[in-house]
Amino acid sequence: MSPETIGLIGVLAMLVLLALRMPIGIAMLLVGAVGFAILNGPGPALMALGTYPYSYAAYYDLAVIPLFVLMGNLAALSGMGRDLFAAAYAWVGHWRGGLASASIVSCAGFAAVSGSSVASALTMGKVCLPEMKRYRYDDGLATGTIAAGGTLGILIPPSTAFIVYGILTEQSIGRLLLAGFLPGLMLTLLFVITIAIWTRLRPEIGPAAERASMSERWATLWRATPMLSVVTASIGGIYVGMFTPAEAAAVGAFLAMVYALWNRTLTWASLEGVLLDTVKTTSMVFLILIGALVFGPFLALSGLPMRAAEFLTGLDVSALAILLVILSGYLVLGMFLEGFSMLVLTLPIVVPVVKALGYDLIWFGVLVVIVLEMGLISPPVGINVFVVKGLVPDVTLGCVFKGIVPFWLAMIVATGLLIAFPQIALIIPDTMMR
């Protein structure tokens, strides 16, 4: 049996294990270890299992994951999301569809301190959905707004998806985080434009709220200043070269903790919950990464990634066509698999192809994350959709999925703009590195 055949069997076995609901990290460890043993002998496989997990978990750059997760949990506890929504509501709530636009802006702002799409959707959903319900917003618009706005959590830095992508592809995490900033703002603007068009065509679905006075607007903006300070200190510190990503995460977590103490929302009981949730999330991510570390060398030994790269680059089609096929594949997988699972399963095969096509891996990472976002609101999995559905039990799942369609189309537009103009993603990291 050829190594390529063994590699293909390993991938199929992985899919079977996932279908049987085995955790992705354990499935990758199992398949990777068995495949490694078949191709390279049981001795090297046992040595890899004995050394890889510890050496990888002790890798300093991975400290960025628990620190950014901690920062997001503290930000949610401190009430930053509530303050940000109040500010956005005061400035744009009087527009037609203004509450929905304020919710998108709030999700984008909270994404800049959480790094998690689920956390963004859950936190902002609790704050924004009651207000939109009070003003008789259409259920589809209200829920679709929160589900789509929450996806900004893995595009706008800090982003756990970019951190995992950077580790798996050996790209600069700092450059990746900065590369997501402008695309994140662009997608936020496209979401707001989508709401404006939707409510112009159907004014009854998003009635305007009361106009706030200028004094109220400035007061709410002042209350949102701590969150803006956390973002500026952490992400801005990376841009100017003051902090490494891990140091920036530590600074952000510290500032979020100070604000939570100032607001008196941080108690011993709440701190215990925050730390426990941080440990759970970090352990899940680390298990996936360790599994990928064992599964990746197995695939490399099989030669399957290189054969796939040779096959695709040898086709008589343009590089753009191959790129669109890859992104379409991610889109289809996103309807069935969770985002991290897609990254660790596909990147060992896809990255050699992208390199052979001559594409920038930082730019490609931004494209992949946007497609992952689309998967977060696509049936039948649509994790963010189920999170929002849990907040509004009286709204049907079909109504929520119907509400995300316009935002899904906006993501298609964002992807097209990034393909046409790669500098949207690259200009900030390129400036940073000069």
Cα–Cα distance for residue pair 256/274, rounded to 1 Å: 12
Q: Which helix (H) or strand (E) holds 3?
A: helix 3-19
Q: Which residue has the tokens 């959905």?
A: 129
Q: Which residue has the tokens 């569809």?
A: 97
Number of domains the chain is built from = 1
User: pLDDT tens per residue, the chain (434 residues)?
Assistant: 788 888 888 888 888 887 788 887 888 889 888 998 898 888 888 887 777 777 777 777 778 888 888 888 888 788 777 888 888 888 887 888 888 999 998 888 888 777 778 778 887 888 888 888 888 899 999 999 999 998 888 888 888 889 889 988 889 888 998 899 999 999 999 999 999 999 999 988 988 778 888 888 898 888 888 877 888 888 788 877 788 888 888 888 898 899 888 888 888 888 899 899 889 888 888 888 888 778 878 887 888 777 777 777 777 788 899 899 889 888 877 776 767 777 877 888 888 889 888 899 999 999 999 988 888 788 776 778 888 888 888 888 889 889 999 999 999 999 999 999 999 999 998 886 55
Cα–Cα distance for residue pair 261/259, rounded to 1 Å: 5
Which residues are within 8 A (CB) of 181 and not within 5 positions of it... i.e. 6 or more apart? 156, 157, 235, 428
Q: What is the pLDDT of residue 422?
A: 95
Q: What is the pLDDT of residue 434?
A: 54
Cα–Cα distance for residue pair 418/421, rounded to 1 Å: 5
Instruction: Count the helix, strand and coil residues of the chain and give each as a percent rounded to the nearest 5.
Output: 80, 0, 20
The answer to whether 374 and 406 are in contact (CB under 8 A) is: no
Which residues are within 8 A (CB) of 177 and not within 5 positions of it... i.e. 6 or more apart? 157, 158, 159, 162, 163, 235, 238, 245
Cα–Cα distance for residue pair 306/385, rounded to 1 Å: 37
Which residues are within 8 A (CB) of 222 and not within 5 positions of it... i.e. 6 or more apart? none
Q: What is the pLDDT of residue 282?
A: 85
Cα–Cα distance for residue pair 193/105, rounded to 1 Å: 12
Cα–Cα distance for residue pair 406/421, rounded to 1 Å: 23
Q: What is the pLDDT of residue 433?
A: 54
- Dihedral sign for Cα 17, 148, 359, 179, please: negative
Q: What is the pLDDT of residue 377?
A: 85
Q: Which two tokens stand for residue 277?
A: 């949730």
In a 10 Å sphere around its CB, with 0-12 CB exposed, 13-18 middle and 19+ buried, how is residue 21 labelled?
exposed
What's the one-letter identity of residue 338? E
Cα–Cα distance for residue pair 434/431, rounded to 1 Å: 6
**pTM of this structure:** 0.84
Q: Which residue has the tokens 């829920």?
A: 143
C-alpha dist (Å) from residue 315 to 94, 260, 319: 54, 56, 9
Which residues are within 8 A (CB) of 433 and not within 5 positions of it... i.e. 6 or more apart? 175
Full residue range of the structural domain in which residue 133 is found:
3-432
Q: Which two tokens stand for residue 2?
A: 């050829």
What's the one-letter identity of residue 388? V
The answer to whether 411 and 369 are in contact (CB under 8 A) is: no
Q: What is the pLDDT of residue 16?
A: 87
Q: Which residue has the tokens 């955790």?
A: 23
Closest Cα to residue 64, out of 373, 289, 351?
Answer: 289
Residue 59: helix, strand or coil by DSSP? coil
Q: Which residue has the tokens 């940000």?
A: 84
**Helix axes 64-78 and 245-262, enclosed angle (nearest 10):** 20
Q: What is the pLDDT of residue 307?
A: 78
DSSP code at position 124: H
Residue 219: count other Cβ atoms within 10 Å of its Cβ.
Answer: 14
Residue 338: count other Cβ atoms within 10 Å of its Cβ.
Answer: 17
Which residues are within 8 A (CB) of 187 and not within 5 positions of it... i.e. 6 or more apart? 152, 155, 370, 410, 411, 414
